[in-house]
Chains A and B, each alone.
Chain A
Amino acid sequence: MRRLKRNRVGHLISKGSERVSEMTENNHVAVAEAPQSNQEQTEPIVRYRKVSKSFGDNQVLKEVDFDLYPGERVAVIGPSGSGKTTMARLLMTLEKPTSGTIEVDGRQLWHKEVKGKLVPADEKHLHEVRGDIGMVFQHFHLFPHMNILKNVSVAPIKVLGLSKEEAEERAKTMLDKVGMSDKLEAYPANLSGGQQQRVAIARALVMRPKVMLFDEPTSALDPELVGEVLDVIKEIAAEGEMAMMLITHEMSFARDVADRIVFFDEGRIIEQGRPEQIFTAPKTDRLQEFLKRFELNGSSS
């Protein structure tokens, strides 16, 4: 596992800013100020290039370029309908890009190379590349017909081919990590939303993905249950093993956890940078507008 030890953040943002400056025709684009320290060059684990996605006439993503580095934690914020979820779903192969390419760890995701030419990927190719990605959904999507232990161990058994004992061992370790090891026999219907989401996190973690996607993991939860889930995510983030893309409306959480904040609006990345900069000195009007809505909640203090 390649890991960024020193100056991870600064280096990443400089990468981001090079790209951002390419699209300066898009009036509002801001460049993050960042220390330029390019000595230690690391390849991104995920690379979006000119990725567009339309649903019918509705163009949801507009030639998005985006890099995610190993171990990096990026929070994606932006107004409703701006295309954040779609970004993540393209990487999870739940949705197919209309144009553009996505690379995962040096391999094309939606295309495969046949005699030097890129052709659309088939299920087999997706299966190979997808193993590096994991996802936690807004609505958990636990399997209601399986108990908790089975929910977390089914994929290691069936997909990774582990033995039942080994898979359950792994599953229990993960469930312990999310504080759910006392409910192994329970069924999802009997758990609170917060508990379900913690199990869903364990279910994704147990596959040991290199990149983990969180799509608003707490926005379907009752307010009093949000904290327990955020704590679990923070803990995982602190381990720094996986790259994480956190789509969230929890600004204070984004600021605490993320190395980089990406602000999305109308299918484009409008501004990105370190949390301090994004929250204290937003450059674009749109981000300022957007952040104003959260000030009432006291999230910037």
Chain B
Amino acid sequence: MFLRTSLYYQAFDGGVIPISVYAQIFPQLLEGAFVTIQLLILSAILGFLLSFLGGIGRLSRIDPIRWISGFFVEFLRGTSLLVQLFWLFYALPLLGIKLAPGLAGILALSLNYGAYGSEVVRGAIQSIPKGQTEAAIALNMTPRQQMWHVILPQAFRTMLPSFGNLFIELLKGTALVSLITIPDMTFEASAMRTNIEANTPEIFTLLLLMYFVIGYPLTLATRWLERRFSVGRL
């Protein structure tokens, strides 16, 4: 409705009212927003799973598992996200593996943030007092039961705020996929910039606002989680 009115004004006035510019830009950015949100959700789910794999793997009592997960986590944290994206997009095809850009994007995002998430998981598990494990051993729980019934439920509360923060970082990270031709919000904005250069300020202002609108609720939710879970236990 709002859009129609502004278009109406545009017709009336000959297209000089700024709001009509936004009406032109917004639909295209909105299309990109759907891509951004898809990327965000898929990478978040995959990254979340990888976080547990990596985090628990690094604490394994079995040496090779610990080494391998340690290597992957350190490797992914140590090389930069954009380099990883480019590597999957430009270099991997030369090794005979061609991924669709969307897949390369999701893979790079979830691997990279999954590696950071691993450290969150590991830190949270290690923050649970040793007495908890000892009490579980004294009750003759198996290592798996100790982890599943005693450690993880407690560690999970500690992880939540950090995962919230990582989620926001992930949202910001998705903007990078525009550089490997995935049509997310930032990609659409860049494309429009080359087409209607005169409106560059409006395009990027609206783009920033749209990221803020998606991201700020996440920030607020994270704060809430922090207050709810970080203070005292229970």
Contacts and interface: CB of A to CB of B under 8 A. Distances in A.
A131 B140 contact: yes
Interface in B215-234: 232-234
A131 B154 CA distance: 25
Interface string B115-139: 0000000000000010110110111
A203 B234 contact: no
Given A144-B233, A144-B234, A145-B234, A159 B132 contact: no
B142 interface: yes
A134 B142 contact: no
Given A139-B131, A144-B154, A154-B149, A189 B137 contact: no
A187 interface: yes
Interface size, A (range): 20 to 34
B232 A189 contact: yes
Residue of B149, B150, B232, B234 ringed by the most chain A CB atoms within 10 A: B149
B96 interface: no
A141 B132 contact: yes
A218 B134 CA distance: 18
A189 B234 contact: yes
A145 B145 contact: no
A1 interface: no
A296 interface: no
Contact of A141 (B134, B142, B153): B134
B143 interface: yes
A283 B60 CA distance: 50
Interface residues of B, number: 21
A125 interface: no
B30 interface: no
B143 A143 contact: no
A237 interface: no
Contacts of B139: 134, 154-155, 159, 203-204, 207
Contacts of B138: 92, 94, 133-135, 137, 204
A155 B140 contact: yes
A121 to B, nearest CB: 14
B143 A123 contact: yes
Given A123-B142, A187-B234, A189-B232, A158 B137 contact: no
Contacts of A164: none
Which among A131, A155, A187 has the highest number of chain B CB atoms within 10 Å? A155
Contacts of B143: 123
B234 A207 contact: no
B141 A159 contact: yes
Contacts of B154: 143-145
Of listed B132, B139, B154, residue having the most chain A CB within 10 A: B139
B233 A127 contact: no
Contacts of B131: 137, 139, 141
Contact of B135 (A123, A127, A130, A143): A143
A94 B149 CA distance: 19
B141 A155 contact: yes
Given A94-B134, A203-B139, A159 B145 contact: yes
A144 B153 CA distance: 10
A187 B145 CA distance: 21
Contacts of A131: 140
A155 B142 CA distance: 10
A101 interface: no
Nearest to A156: B139
Contact of A145 (B129, B140, B142, B153): B153
B154 to A, nearest CB: 5
Interface of B: 129, 131-132, 134-135, 137-143, 145, 149-150, 153-154, 157, 232-234
The 3 closest A-B pairs by CB, nearest first: A155-B139, A141-B135, A141-B131
